[in-house]
Amino acid sequence: MEEPLCFTVPRDRDPGRLDRLLAELLPDLTRSQVKKFIDEGRVLLSGRPAKAGEKLKGGEVLVVSLPELRPAEALPEAIPLRILYEDRHLVVLDKPAGLVVHPAPGHDRGTLVNALLHHCRDLAGIGGELRPGIVHRLDKDTSGVMVATKDDVTHLHLARQFKAHSISRRYLALVHGMVPQARGTVDRPIGRHPTLRQKMSSAARSGRHA
């Protein structure tokens, strides 16, 4: 059995239904997995078994006992990829939002790595069995351009460039609320959200400059 996970339901916003908040707190799990764990009694709400549709108020304590997960294994899968460029050393692709980059325990199917293993006969092995060819990553809900390598020499060269910041990366973000200026600079440290530990926040006290 895995070590139980403990969360305090945030008070600074309407937390909504328990199952929806839990899916937000555990983004690597699907909605169906979250509901299954609740139905199996693996989720306690302030010490008692929780119900999926319960409305939360804020301040409650959630304890999630995850089952022991089998080791992840990366296998080829015929998942469509949008290839932007490809040669014998690397492949550049457009990763869609919602696609996890590499397998993890409990989620070893339907990832970008599974798709790459099907598309390419060879990938750089230096990243390990679960991250072949992966030099950098994007979060599951982030879309954008990614580079995967087909040999270890190319992988090392690109890894050094990413580390030295000689490769330029540019991001577009959706902004909520009224923005008074058309252009500007946001210069704030980023760290884990104090209550939603799966999210990042610019208000975190222990934040670092990106």
Catalytic (active-site) positions? 139
Cα 176 to Cα 173, 179: the distances in Å are 10, 8
Any alpha helices (H) in the chain, and if so which ranges? 18-25, 31-39, 112-119, 152-164
- Integer Cα distance of 112 and 102 in angstroms: 6
Q: Which residues 6+ apart lie within 8 Å of 135 measured at CB?
A: 127, 147, 148, 149, 155, 158, 159, 162
Residues 194 and 190: their CA atoms lie apart, in Å, by 12
* Rounded Cα–Cα distance for residues 205 and 202 (Å): 8
As a whole number of angstroms, the distance between CA 151 and CA 161 comes to 16
Estimate to the nearest angstrom the gap between the alpha carbon of 24 and the chain centroid: 11
Beta strands, E only, the chain: 5-8, 43-45, 48-49, 61-64, 83-86, 90-95, 144-149, 191-192, 200-201
